[in-house]
Structure 1
Amino acid sequence: MTSATHRSAQEIGRTSSGPRPLPELGDQRAATELSHVDTTLSNGLRVLAVRKASVPLVEVRLWIPFAGEDALHSATAEVLAETLITGTAKRDRVEIDAELALIGGDLGAGVDPERLYLNGSALSDGLPTLLDVLGDVLTGATYGEPEVTRERERLIERIAVSRTQPRTIAREALQKQRYGDHPVTREVPQAEDVAVVTPEQVRALHAASVLPRGSVLVIVGDIDPDTVPAELERALGGWASDRSALVLPPLPELTGGNVLLVPRAGAVQSQIRLSAQTVARTHPSYPALQLANLAFGGYFSSRLVENIREDKGYTYGAHSGFEFTGENAVVNVDADTANEVTAAALLETRYELARLGLVPPTAEEVESVRQYAIGSLLTSTSSQSGLAGQLMALATTGLGAEWLQEHPARLAAVTGEQVAEAALEYFAPKRFTGVVVGDAELLAPKLTALGDVTVGSETAD
């Protein structure tokens, strides 16, 4: 019996004569045409139905713009999402669950400052039942006192736990640093606000804001797309209003600036969160920007990961990626580090941001990230659920299946020069603002010595 010898990732990726060469990127084949229908129903609901018959299932995604200015909107919206599917005038919770179980289905809801969303799935021949339940929930949810009370108490418990988590604290700090008092920052409501939400308030919010006009429904599966609009007109015929769903006000554009040190006394780790303005998916520079981001920190072999994880061991994981809100797009950089190396990790992150523009990705790097981008896109859309998620992300900004089909060719056409230009324009360190959350007593001397770091007031867990 022989013992296995452990080899590191670097050793696996090399031979005696040097690094293992990457295979050449093959010719980009034309995308397979997606049989689909993209239309708007009489109630103003946009519908994107796509045939993907790999398995006899169907995925349903509903996205409803759900902004609100009221101070209690976030709390009321969370209670609404938790109790939306707990009973209607026609079905109680048990009857809803039983009908969905008979078709191998499920239906869930969630909310954030931008949208209320419902996700469902079922056997493809159970789609009429799934849509009937969906229509019933949208038009007849009752928000009974017992259900609201029960889910409200559970929500308060989850919020209490969430607000002790470093990632939640860092996310909330980043949002306030970027967008101040904009409604988009109200991602986690205050427990005391949730505690006073009443069934009457939830019903009023449903009537005012659960609206079809301006909303998007995506259906992907073993279906005939041409028959879906008529089926939806029947199932959702009672869901109608002359008003449109409420969208968030435009987000302010990020212009860079100082990084804010958010004190968290006694924390043994720090959270680094940086953010900069970029461009939407429809911008001509987006494909090159996408490859530049991957080269910087968008996948495991990126420069940032190689530097602060593999080489220096400052973090278990570092990552950069895009965040889209309406027409707004930013790129985020995040890493969690031990206190003693936080300043060094921020310094190296800024160094890699600058180096990406001054020493742009090599031809080999560009080919590597191109293959990753195209391969991961094809992989993520190979399942019905993945395709539905991708289409929903596109549809909410006015795009559709055509953009998704054409994007691999756009990535394949990007030149190294275009990636270099995108890196220099969008990844300059001065474009980034952000936060570091950690023990200020330990972190402040070194972080402020780096420059462009200010110290904020103490945050409570």
Structure 2
Amino acid sequence: MTVTVPTDPAHRTAEEIGRTAAGPRPLPPLGPTREVPLPDVLDVTLANGLRVLVARNPRVPMAELRLRVPFGPDAVATGLAETDDAAVSRHLAAAELLTATLLTGTSSRDRVGIDDELAGVGADLGVGVDPERLQIGGSGLAVGLPTILDVLADVLTDAQHPDAEVLRERERLVERITVARAQPRTIAREALQRKRFGNHPVAREMPTGPDVAAVEPADVRALQAAGLVPGGAILTLVGDLDPHDAVALIEQYLGGWTAPHPARRLTAPPPVAASNLELVSRAGSVQSQLRLSAPALPRLDDRYAALQLANLVFGGYFSSRWMENIREDKGYTYGAHSGTEFVPGGAVLSVETDVASDVTAAALLETRYELGRMTAVPPTADEIDAARRYAVGSLLISLDSQGGFGSTLATLAADDVPVQWLRDHPARLEAVTVEEVGAASREFFAPSAFTGVIVGDAEVVGPGLRALGGVDLP
């Protein structure tokens, strides 16, 4: 039997609503930019050197926790040179195993005990490390904050890193590194880091398999004692809690976490220097990875907002010039992106895309063209206004959740950027002029300012790149 559903003559489709006899309805004008709705942040430093930032956000009965400890390689041994590549790799290998086993037991709690106590207050904690810092993050019920801090204090001061756990994680980590190092994106990232930062520790983001295999449990325990210290560390809390009461709890539980020396912060890497791109051969690859980089600006620079908008126009979001060219018009790639990476003491621009081998030279040509166009044909007022709306809207969305605000607050604090900067940033974006964006485009997007790498099959992509020029072939 066929059932006929009667239609409502008053009902109009979305297309009908959006059009008139004269054509599509115009979009209403954008309203004024909302102020960033940020709570006050209590910022104190405890006697042990731990900096604490707490903000109250009562919308949900949860608390977000972020602990960032500077974790440079000098934490391993006094006098270790930052340019000692083998020592840096050994440090990173031990650091990776430290993070993998930090929550596996203390003298009073085993792995199951830690998991059960956290689960009892709806909490979870995760640990990670990079060349610059070790991070512990998670969330839980705000009423369970004492339990979360008790567990956190226990692992910070008394993690045992049992031999069996370290050896088990060591085997797993070697396998993961072996798999990762076969991936073209990993190869491209490592090559780019070396190209722009040389042998500075910030360039070493993954240890070698042999270095991991050489780490003993005693090395991990020694690294915890030497490197996981409170001086210079930052603990950020955001949630349904009273900031002053939270600080008192933190002092109660973490005040006993002490060390005779502060955590090790990396020195600034050398500035990115313009040079020919480097072709890294990967035989048999059907794709090429293009990775370009140039100097950028830190957040506190007065020109940062103009650079942010210039980057969005070039390649920072889907409606950018570069994306329109090599994806929408040429069909060379599925995605292309440019953005700012913050490193100790500064920032760098990163430009990246993956393309088929047979269009590698053509994609590089179009990339250089769009970079050059940023300097010769600077962004228009319409392009800048679109980028401005995207930048402000993205910022507001990123801060809408407790987790987003907590992570942003922790990131800014690690770079010594005050929370007031965040409140004022939409107004800075609104105030940027077309001329300021044009000046940033000319200064930072000139093709001659860039260096970088291309990972691909040299037999296939080499001839085209050699003819194009500006690329060092193996």
Scaled to the shorter chain, the TM-score interval is over 0.9
Within 2, Cα distance between the matches of 1:25 and 1:184?
42
Structure 2 counterpart of 1:44, from 41, 46, 49: 49
Long gaps (5+) in structure 1: 2-12, 457-461
Deviation string, structure 1 residues 335-388 (Cα, Å, up to 9, x no partner): 000000011001101110110121111111111000000000000010011111
Long gaps (5+) in structure 2: 5-17, 74-81
1:106 aligned residue: 124
Decide whether the 8 Å contact of 2:315 with 2:338 is kept in 1.
Answer: yes
Structure 1 counterpart of 2:209, from 191, 195, 208: 191
1:31 aligns with 2:36: yes
Cα distance, 1:277–1:76 mapped onto 2, change above 3 Å: same
1:8 aligned residue: none
2:409 aligned residue: 391
Give how far 1:140 is off.
0.5
Give how far 1:185 is off.
1.7
Decide whether the 8 Å contact of 2:46 with 2:255 is kept in 1.
Answer: no
Structure 1 counterpart of 2:395, from 377, 383, 386: 377
Q: Give the 3-state SS of the residue equivalent to 1:250 in structure 2.
A: coil
Decide whether the 8 Å contact of 1:34 with 1:401 is kept in 2.
Answer: no
Deviation string, structure 1 residues 151-200 (Cα, Å, up to 9, x no partner): 11111111111111111110000001111111112111111111111110
Give how far 1:17 is off.
9.0
1:181 aligned residue: 199
Give how far 1:39 is off.
1.3
2:423 aligned residue: 405
Cα distance, 1:344–1:198 mapped onto 2, change above 3 Å: same
Decide whether the 8 Å contact of 2:196 with 2:273 is kept in 1.
Answer: no
Q: Which amino acid aligns with 2:336?
A: A
Deviation string, structure 1 residues 98-128 (Cα, Å, up to 9, x no partner): 0010011001101111111001110111111
2:261 aligned residue: 243
Cα distance, 1:15–1:112 mapped onto 2, change above 3 Å: farther
Within 1, Cα distance between the matches of 2:295 and 2:22?
42
Count of residues paired in the alignment: 445
2:11 aligned residue: none
1:276 aligned residue: 294
Cα distance, 1:243–1:15 mapped onto 2, change above 3 Å: farther
1:67 aligns with 2:72: yes
Q: Which amino acid aligns with 2:36?
A: A
Q: Give the 3-state SS of the residue equivalent to 2:219 in structure 1.
A: helix
Decide whether the 8 Å contact of 2:72 with 2:264 is kept in 1.
Answer: yes
2:456 aligned residue: 438
2:13 aligned residue: none
Within 2, Cα distance between the matches of 1:404 and 1:353?
29
1:121 aligns with 2:162: no
1:414 aligns with 2:429: no
Structure 2 counterpart of 1:299, from 317, 326, 331: 317
Identity %, equivalent residues: 58
Within 2, Cα distance between the matches of 1:108 and 1:126?
17
Decide whether the 8 Å contact of 2:267 with 2:344 is kept in 1.
Answer: no
Give how far 1:21 is off.
6.5
Cα distance, 1:265–1:327 mapped onto 2, change above 3 Å: same
Cα distance, 1:156–1:26 mapped onto 2, change above 3 Å: same
Within 1, Cα distance between the matches of 2:298 and 2:22?
43
**Structure (1 or 2) with the larger CA radius of gyration:** 2
Cα distance, 1:103–1:86 mapped onto 2, change above 3 Å: same
Within 2, Cα distance between the matches of 1:330 and 1:188?
20
1:58 aligns with 2:63: yes
Give how far 1:455 is off.
1.4
Large movers: runs of 4+ above 4 Å: 13-23
1:339 aligns with 2:357: yes
Give how far 1:33 is off.
4.8
Decide whether the 8 Å contact of 2:36 with 2:396 is kept in 1.
Answer: no
Within 2, Cα distance between the matches of 1:440 and 1:105?
50
Within 1, Cα distance between the matches of 2:320 and 2:24?
16
Matches within 5 A, 1:91-240: 91-240=109-258
1:459 aligned residue: none
1:258 aligns with 2:291: no
CA RMSD, Structure 1 to Structure 2 (Å): 1.8
1:79 aligns with 2:87: no
